């Protein structure tokens, strides 16, 4: 089968800017488009968006489809889904990728259902490859790789007979391609015809709170788990992070126990990170947590239990009580740094 | 019945307890070892049920819980009855098996459209812990042609055919107004699910689905039709529907109706890393810090 359809990425707007995950998608999208020999496009929906297109071009988009209308100024599901569904039907892309953000996970399944096509959630990798079934070989299919069963297994999913192949992609696992300032592309304006029946949900209030912590761009992360024992002891994690100029992370168990706010959560349901150094304090290392941090360049695990699974992904280990080890570590660091 | 009364369908799923794996997840032949995992009520579906029951407490109405799954999924329906559901439905048919999210959403939407219309609200958990996809609810909403509001942490008010809801989108919080009928999804942070009621527990643990009638008849030494009539009369029959009952297009259900296929499944193998231990005393920690500095991990 020869491929003609483009590779598309949905460009999400966050605080008036292109969301980080949408830039990450352009890096992976470029690889896929190259492997297939087709153009890479981004779909940009909103109001007064033209200036944002340049950033998409700089990061690798050949084409930007822009749907610009005041009724699209804020995201609600149905009007955005209508724009995408109509555009897919008209232009027939082969692949459409979305960030696995709350917005992407709200929009993509609605679009997939209307198009009666396959959708794979929360992929951590995408490749082009072949798929064999019933004596038939499908070439150049999108291999959609994702963890399942709480991260205990990794599944490779294909959508052999349906186009477009669609996937949402987890935030933070793919790299943002370096921008080429001044790189140009084709901007195609998409006509918008608002349908009254699409405006059944109205946003009455919207409040954005600033990120308490920026885990994804931190070079060093000190993360604490349930093994810290109490909110008071969790102060040691903050203290160690302070000495290192590091960001503070946490396991879900620590968040659930009320030691720290959920914005700090790392793992399958939190943020995925890969800092230069990850220090896991009192974190046993459930598979869901490991999924969010095991790509870190160096991992130091401090845990009282030598059998804790966190040690299976660590490079350095200290078996001991965090309440004693962390103060010693702080002391040693203060003397050296 | 008062005017504001809400007729609610809750969609629930029985899932393997992936948070408590008690053995090898993969068998040596590479298939999933389901026996290693207990089957539980998907946690966020309990939050969905709680939101539905709370709305019924406030406005009156009816809470119907439906699940698609194998016969043993009747367990979560008994649980739902004990927690306060008015009516429960088991969608079960060998031909439903192997469904991906698209085929699943078709089956669920078809059951709602053929038997449960008109309704005001469909309530779902945000996502199930086996797949973590969160895809089925928006797909059901699309198939029913109704709007969706995901990540609902509070049902503020139902009034004049509309509902006001609070959404938690991580960094953003929204209050929205949506027209009914509507589908919403509920994350675990929305509420604390109520426990099964003791009086209801005594009664509804005896509820039986269509697949359990023969065993029940043998136990009671009675005819199947007698047992069925008796269960129905006492409100203990779990309605059990297959592909025919919901007039399903057989091309759109189960594995055959699923666009996505699993190419392969790998067990997560922990990467063998050269792990070096340091002693928890001052000497060991000094060595570690020296090593990290040498490797330029700092700075």
* DSSP assignment letter at B37: S
Give the list of residues 6+ apart from residue A266 with CB closer than 8 angstroms, or none.
A215, A221, A223, A249, A250, A251, A272, A273, A289, A292, A293
Q: Look at residue B293 in the predicted model and tell me its pLDDT.
A: 84
Gap from A148 CA to chain B (nearest CA, Å): 5
Q: What pLDDT does B45 receive? A: 98
**What pTM, to 2 d.p., does this model score?**
0.85
Q: Does B149 touch chain A (CB under 8 A)?
A: yes
**Which candidate, A124, A221, A168, A210, places its Cα nearest to that of B170?**
A210
Provide the chain B residues 114-133 that lie in CB contact (below 8 A) with chain A: 129-133
Does residue A237 register a pLDDT over 80? yes
Contact list, B297 vs chain A (CB under 8 Å): 276-277, 297-298
Query: CB distance from B279 to chain A under 8 Å?
Result: yes
Residue B278 has pLDDT above 70, yes or no: yes
Q: Among A101, A106, A213, which would you mutate to test the B interface (most chain B Cβ atoms within 10 Å of its Cβ)?
A: A106
Interatomic CA distance for residues A22 and A74, integer angstroms: 17
For chain B, the average pLDDT equals 92
> Which pLDDT value is given to residue A287?
84
Domains of chain A, CATH where assigned: 7-198 (3.40.50.620), 220-336 (3.40.50.1220)
Chain A interface disruption, residue of B42, B160, B260, most A CBs within 10 A = B260
Give B278's contacts in chain A (Cβ within 8 Å). 316-318
Q: What is the mean pLDDT of residues A79-86?
A: 98
Is the pLDDT at B271 greater than 60, yes or no? no
Is A108 within 8 Å of chain B by CB?
Answer: yes
Chain B residues with beta carbon closer than 8 angstroms to that of A128: none
Q: Is the pLDDT of residue A209 over 60?
A: yes
Kindly state the tokens that stand for B177.
Answer: 């107004």
Band (A24; pLDDT cuts 50, 70, 90): very high
Q: Which residue has the higher pLDDT, B158 or A272?
A: B158
- The arithmetic mean of pLDDT across residues A109-116, rounded, is 98
Nearest CA in chain B to A151: B268
The 10 Å Cβ neighbour count of residue B299 is: 9
CA distances (Å), A252 to each of A106, A262, A265, in order?
A: 23, 8, 6
The answer to whether residue B172 scores a pLDDT higher than 80 is yes
Residue B239, C-beta contacts closer than 8 angstroms, at least 6 positions apart: B87, B88, B89, B90, B210
Instruction: For residue B274, give the chain A residue with the closest CA.
Output: A315
pLDDT value, residue B295? 79
Task: Enumerate the β-bridge partners of residue A95.
Answer: A7, A165
- pLDDT score of A208: 86
Reported confidence tier of residue A214, pLDDT bands at 50, 70, 90: confident
All residues at 6 or more sequence positions from A58 whose CB lies less than 8 Å from its CB, including other chains = A179, A180, A181, A182, A183
**Lowest-confidence range among A166-175, A178-187, A231-240?**
A166-175
Sheet holding B172-179, edge to edge: A201-208, B172-179, B162-168, B152-159
Q: Which residues of B touch A287 (CB under 8 A)?
A: 268
What does the alpha-carbon distance between residue B46 and residue B55 come to, in Å, rounded to a whole number? 14
Mean pLDDT is lowest, of A129-143, A146-160, A239-253, B249-263, for A146-160
CA-closest candidate to residue B63, choices B72, B53, B71, B75:
B53
pLDDT at residue B83 tops 90: yes
Chain A nearest CA to B238, separation (Å): 28
Residue B23's pLDDT is what? 58
Say what the pLDDT of residue B2 is. Answer: 62
Tokens of B1: 């019945």
Candidates A9, A178, A201; CA nearest to A99 is: A9
Distance from CA of B263 to the nearest CA of A (A): 5
C-beta of residue B44 within 8 angstroms of C-beta of residue B186: yes
Select from B23, B140, B173, B280 the residue whose CB has the most chain A CBs within 10 Å, as the one to mutate to test that interface.
B280
**What is the token pair recorded at A26?**
């352009």
Contacts of B295 in chain A (CB under 8 A): 298
> Is A202's Cβ below 8 Å from some Cβ in B?
yes
> What residues of A are in contact with residue B147 (Cβ under 8 Å)?
77-78, 200-201
Cα(A184)–Cα(A292) distance, rounded to whole angstroms? 35
- The stretches of chain A forming alpha helices (DSSP H) are 20-36, 50-58, 77-91, 102-115, 231-244, 252-256, 287-290, 322-336
Contact across the interface for B297 and A152, Cβ inside 8 Å: no
For the stretch B124-141, pLDDT in tens is 999 998 888 999 999 999
- Which residues make beta-bridge pairs with A67? A45
Contact of B160 with B223, CB cutoff 8 Å: no
State the sign of the Cα–Cα–Cα–Cα dihedral B263, B264, B268, B270: negative
Contacting A residues, span 308-337, partner chain B, CB-CB under 8 Å: 309, 311-321, 324-325, 328-329, 331-333, 336-337
Query: For the stretch B86-119, what's the b/e string if a residue is b when 16 or more beta carbons lie within 10 angstroms of its beta carbon?
Result: bbbbbbbbebbeebbbbbbbbbbbbbbeebeeeb
- What is the rounded CA–CA span in Å between residue B58 and residue A200? 24
pLDDT value for A263: 86
Q: What domains are defined for chain B? A: 6-257 (3.40.50.620)
**Listed residue (B221, B212, B151) closest to B184, CA to CA:** B151
Burial class (CB in 10 A: 0-12, 13-18, 19+), A84: buried
> DSSP 3-state assignment of B151?
coil
Contacts of A170 (CB under 8 A, 6+ apart): A100, A122, A123, A124, A272
Smallest CA-to-CA distance from B173 within A261, A203, A171 is with A203
- Å from A291 to nearest chain B CA? 10
Q: Which of B175, B111, B95, B99 is nearest to B143 (CA)?
A: B111
Average pLDDT over residues A58-78: 97
Is it the case that residue B269 has pLDDT exceeding 80? Answer: no
Distance CA B50, CA A163 (A): 39
CA–CA dist A265, B16 (Å, integer): 24
Check CB contact under 8 Å for B132 and A268. Answer: yes
Mean pLDDT over residues B54-64, rounded?
98
pLDDT in tens, B17-47: 876 665 566 666 555 666 677 899 999 999 9
Task: Please name the member of B136, B260, B273 whose beta carbon is closest to the beta carbon of A313.
Answer: B273
pLDDT at B20: 66
How many Cβ pairs within 8 Å bridge chains A and B?
238
Residue A169: CB partners within 8 Å, gap ≥ 6? Answer: A21, A24, A25, A28, A97, A98, A99, A100, A122, A123, A124, A126
Read off the pLDDT band of B170 (50, 70, 90): confident
Looking at the partner chain, which of A107, A161, A202 has a beta carbon nearest the beta carbon of B176? Answer: A202
- Three-state DSSP class for residue A7: strand
pLDDT value for A334: 87
User: Do residues B150 and A102 make contact, with C-beta atoms less than 8 angstroms apart?
Assistant: yes
Q: Hey, are the CB atoms on B260 and A220 less than 8 Å from each other? A: no
Residues 1 through 60 of chain A touching chain B, CB cutoff 8 Å: none
């Amino acid at each position: 089968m020869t491929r003609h359809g483009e590779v598309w990425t949905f460009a999400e707007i966050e605080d008036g800017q292109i969301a980080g995950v949408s830039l990450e998608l352009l890096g992976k999208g470029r690889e896929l488009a190259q492997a297939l020999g087709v153009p890479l496009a981004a779909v940009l929906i909103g109001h007064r968006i033209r200036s944002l297109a340049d950033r998409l071009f700089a990061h690798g988009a050949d084409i930007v489809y822009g749907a610009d209308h005041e009724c699209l100024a804020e995201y609600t599901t149905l009007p955005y889904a209508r724009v995408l569904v109509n555009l897919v039907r008209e232009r027939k892309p082969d692949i459409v990728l979305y960030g696995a953000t709350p917005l992407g996970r709200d929009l993509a399944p609605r679009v997939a259902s209307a198009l009666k096509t396959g959708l794979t959630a929360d992929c951590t990798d995408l490749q082009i490859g072949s798929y064999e079934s019933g004596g038939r070989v499908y070439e150049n299919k999108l291999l959609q790789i994702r963890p399942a069963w709480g991260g205990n297994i990794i599944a490779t999913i294909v959508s052999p007979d349906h186009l477009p192949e669609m996937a949402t992609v987890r935030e933070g696992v793919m790299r943002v391609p370096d921008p080429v300032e001044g790189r140009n592309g084709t901007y195609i304006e998409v006509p918008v015809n608002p349908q009254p029946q699409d405006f059944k949900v109205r946003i009455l209030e919207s409040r954005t709170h600033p990120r308490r912590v920026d885990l994804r761009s931190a070079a060093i992360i000190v993360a604490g788990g349930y093994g810290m024992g109490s909110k008071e002891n969790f102060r040691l994690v903050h203290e160690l992070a302070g000495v290192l100029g590091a960001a503070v992370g946490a396991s879900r168990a620590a968040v659930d126990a009320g030691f720290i706010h959920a914005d700090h959560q790392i793992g399958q349901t939190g943020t995925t990170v890969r800092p230069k150094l990850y220090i896991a304090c009192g974190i046993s290392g459930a598979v869901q947590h490991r999924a969010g941090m095991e790509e870190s360049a160096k991992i130091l695990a401090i845990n009282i239990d030598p059998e804790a699974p966190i040690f299976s992904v660590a490079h350095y280990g200290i078996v001991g009580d965090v309440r004693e080890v962390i103060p010693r570590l702080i002391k040693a660091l203060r003397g050296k740094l | 019945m008062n005017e504001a009364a809400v007729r609610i369908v809750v969609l629930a799923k029985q899932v393997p307890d992936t948070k408590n794996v008690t053995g090898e997840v993969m068998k040596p032949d590479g298939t999933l070892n389901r026996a290693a995992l207990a089957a539980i009520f998907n946690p966020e579906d309990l939050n969905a049920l709680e939101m539905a029951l709370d709305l019924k407490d406030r406005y009156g109405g009816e809470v119907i819980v439906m699940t698609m799954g194998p016969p043993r999924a009747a367990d979560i329906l008994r649980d739902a009855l004990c927690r306060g559901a008015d009516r429960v439905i088991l969608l079960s048919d060998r031909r439903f098996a192997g469904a991906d999210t698209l085929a699943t959403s078709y089956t669920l939407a078809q059951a709602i459209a053929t038997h449960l219309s008109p309704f005001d609200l469909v309530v779902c958990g945000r996502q199930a812990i086996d797949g973590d996809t969160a895809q089925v609810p928006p797909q059901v909403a699309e198939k029913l042609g109704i709007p969706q509001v995901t990540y609902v942490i509070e049902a503020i008010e139902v009034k004049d055919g509309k509902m006001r809801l609070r959404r938690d989108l991580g960094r953003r919080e929204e209050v929205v107004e949506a027209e009914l009928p509507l589908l919403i999804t509920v994350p675990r942070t929305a509420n604390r699910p109520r426990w099964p009621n003791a009086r209801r527990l005594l009664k509804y643990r005896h509820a039986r689905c269509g697949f359990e009638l023969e065993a029940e008849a043998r136990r009671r030494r009675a005819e199947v039709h007698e047992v069925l009539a008796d269960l129905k009369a006492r409100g203990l029959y779990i309605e059990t529907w297959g592909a025919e009952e919901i007039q399903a297009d057989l091309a759109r259900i189960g594995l055959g109706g699923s666009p996505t296929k699993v190419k392969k499944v790998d067990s997560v193998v922990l990467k063998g890393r050269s792990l070096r231990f340091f002693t928890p005393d001052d000497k060991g920690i000094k060595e570690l810090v020296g090593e990290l500095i040498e490797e330029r991990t700092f700075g």
